[in-house]
């Protein structure tokens, strides 16, 4: 409970009784939490490699966006891994079909956004993969809680791009624990696979164009002298 809310409750309530049901431990002991540092461009290959490891029987992969969930599910399907996507843009019937397919084992990987982190209650989920760390560290706890249920063991992987280190630190502060960082060697890249931009080019915000760039983009073929003449005409005359 936020401190401000607790202070307001003490101020306006008379002899209130507080019942605290928050767990003393934020994450379950049975969940083996692991981190692998990998650039955004290599995450698809890393995900495929982790899902093909021995012991992965049923896995949930979490992305931050709906578009990302669809894209990852499609990539896994193209790689021969049975995957279904579930998110808020899917109809209720489509979500139910995806969940039923996952429960029945027709697809053994479910790619989901955080809308599914709290609501999915399926036994036998052996692995959870954070393809992207969530914006809110609390969502990490709900995500990995889909495995290690009913006393069973589970493994939670987090694929962390260097640009996501701040999100990882926020998670560690919340759970008061640092997941084990593991080095995983990727197989050689398929020469036919398109090379994605690296994390720096993807995460760099689009800044404002310089005045010269705006002049070039707005006036095709205009030279610098024309631009300078226009600016001189707009200057106020000296008294």
How do residues 165-181 score in pLDDT, each as one tens digit? 999 999 999 999 999 99
Helices (H) then strands (E): counts for the chain: 9, 7
Lowest mean pLDDT of 23-27, 60-64, 100-104, 111-115, name the range.
Answer: 23-27
Give the separation between CA 79 and CA 75, rounded to whole angstroms: 6
| Chain CA centroid to CA 141, Å | 13
As a whole number, the mean pLDDT across the chain is 80
Lowest mean pLDDT of 12-16, 39-43, 118-122, 215-219, name the range.
Answer: 215-219
Judging by DSSP bridges, how do beta strands 180-181 and 109-112 pair with one another? unpaired
128 pLDDT tier (thresholds 50, 70, 90): very high
pTM more than 0.75:
no
- What is the rounded average pLDDT of the residues 115-126? 79
Question: Which of 19, 3, 4, 35 minimizes the C-alpha distance to 175?
Answer: 35
Choose between 199 and 144: higher pLDDT: 144
Q: Which domains does the chain have, with CATH numbers?
A: 31-185 (3.40.50.300)
Judging by DSSP bridges, how do beta strands 127-130 and 154-160 pair with one another? parallel
pLDDT digits (tens, 9 = 90+) for 39-76: 999 999 999 999 999 999 999 999 999 999 999 999 99
Q: So what's the pLDDT on residue 89?
A: 86
Is 229's pLDDT higher than 50? no
**Residue 99 parent element (H or E):** helix 92-104
20 pLDDT tier (thresholds 50, 70, 90): confident
Q: So what's the pLDDT on residue 151?
A: 76
Q: So what's the pLDDT on residue 207?
A: 44
């Amino acid at each position: 409970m936020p401190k401000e809310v607790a202070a307001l409750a003490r101020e306006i309530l008379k002899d209130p009784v507080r019942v605290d049901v928050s767990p003393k431990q934020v994450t379950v002991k049975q969940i083996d939490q692991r981190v692998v540092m990998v650039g955004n461009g290599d995450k698809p290959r890393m995900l495929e490699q982790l899902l093909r490891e021995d012991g992965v029987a049923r896995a949930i992969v979490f992305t931050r966006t709906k578009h990302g969930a669809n894209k990852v599910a499609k990539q896994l399907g193209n790689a021969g891994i049975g995957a279904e996507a579930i998110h808020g843009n899917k109809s209720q019937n489509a979500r139910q079909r995806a969940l039923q397919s996952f429960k029945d084992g027709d697809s053994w990987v479910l790619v989901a956004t955080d809308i599914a982190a709290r609501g999915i209650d399926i036994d036998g989920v052996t692995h959870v993969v954070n393809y992207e760390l969530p914006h809110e560290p609390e969502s990490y706890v709900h995500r990995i809680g889909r495995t290690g249920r009913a006393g069973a063991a589970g493994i939670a992987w987090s694929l962390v791009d260097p640009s996501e280190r701040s999100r990882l630190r926020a998670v560690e502060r919340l759970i008061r624990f640092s997941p084990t960082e593991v080095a995983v060697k990727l197989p050689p890249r398929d020469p036919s696979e398109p090379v994605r931009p690296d994390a720096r080019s993807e995460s760099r915000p689009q800044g404002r164009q310089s005045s010269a760039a705006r002049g070039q983009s707005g006036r095709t073929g205009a030279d610098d002298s024309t631009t300078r003449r226009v600016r001189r005409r707009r200057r106020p005359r000296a008294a």
